[in-house]
Every structure is written in C-alpha cells, then in structure tokens.
Amino acid sequence: MAGVTLLTVLTAASAAASAYTSVSAGKARNEAAKFEAEQLRENAEMAKLDAANANLKRLEEFDQIRRTNIAISAANGALPRSSRSFLAIQKRGKDVFLRDKALITLGGKSRVSQLQGSANQTLNTGRQAFRTGITKAAGTLIGGGLDIQEIKDREED
C-alpha cells in the first residue's frame, strides 16, 4: 500500500506541531531573558546613580561638619585653620570622608558589575533555551520521520 494513510498524516502533523511548540517555547524563553536582562541593565544604571547620590550626600555631611567645626572654633575665639588641633580635626574629617567615598564608590561598582554579569548570564541562558528548542524540534521531526517510515514499512508487509 503506497498511499498516504490517516496514521501517517496524523504522525506527521503531531511531529510538526510538537516541533513548532519546541521552537516557540525556546523563542519565548529567549525573549523573556532579553527582557529580564534589560531590567538588570536598568538596575545597574540605577545602582550607579545610587552610588553617586550616596557620595553627594556624604560630601554634604562632611561639608556641614567642616562648617560647624569652623563656627565652633570661631565662637571660641580661635582663628580657624590656625591651631594644630583644629587642623588635625579637619584632616581627620577629610580622611574619613575620602574613605567613605571610596567605599561607596567601590560598593556601587561592585553592584553594577554584579547586575551586568547577571544580565549577560540571563541573555546566555535565553539563547541556550532557544537553541535547545530548535534542537528538540529537529529531534522531534527526525523521530516523526522515522515513525512514518515504520508505519509505511508495516503497511507494505
């Protein structure tokens, strides 16, 4: 029997539908990964801004402390910037500020790097999901072709 039977048509349709589903699922996971990676990149940009804002806030705090020290020194009759103790206090404040600024900057860079790394990993996962979908589809179509050949071989016997 050389004709196409209902069973071969159904087997071919099933293989095609399954292959289409595999490719679609892989494509959907890839698109979701792209969206998630974009969100992570936006979060990385926000982390940069957060670090910059934290540094600005710390600078404002340092400046307020510096001005307060000058005002207290002047109120006590000492000339600011003339006594060693005043200069030592100012230097210590500046040192603390610079250390804090470095820590804030480092923390911000670390967070940005982490988020960018996660974005890249997410993109790679999405690409891999898409490739897996295509591979599954190819396997399904090959398997469907083999099933059809088996059906035809049985029908010829």
What's the rounded Cα separation, in Å, for the pair 11 and 147? 7
Per-residue pLDDT, 80: 64
- Tally of domains within the chain: 1
What does the pLDDT read at residue 1? 44
DSSP character at residue 21? H
Percent of the chain clearing pLDDT 70 (strictly above): 96
Burial of 25 (0-12, 13-18, 19+ CB in 10 A): middle
Does residue 91 lie in a domain region? Answer: yes
Instruction: Tell me which residue range forms the domain holding 152.
Output: 6-156
Q: Is the pLDDT of residue 24 over 90?
A: yes
pLDDT value of residue 109: 96
Amino acid at 157: D
For residue 147, is it within any domain? yes
Identify the band that residue 2 occupies on the pLDDT scale cut at 50, 70 and 90: low
Q: Please state which of the ranges 3-12, 44-53, 113-122 shows the lowest mean pLDDT.
A: 3-12
DSSP 72-98: HHHHTTPPTTTSHHHHHHHHHHHHHHH
> Among 5-9, 16-20, 33-37, 57-61, which stretch is predicted with the lowest mean pLDDT?
5-9
pLDDT in tens, 36-85: 999 999 999 999 999 999 999 999 999 999 888 888 877 877 776 677 87
pLDDT tens-digit series, residues 124-148: 999 999 999 999 999 999 999 999 8
In a domain, 1, yes or no: no
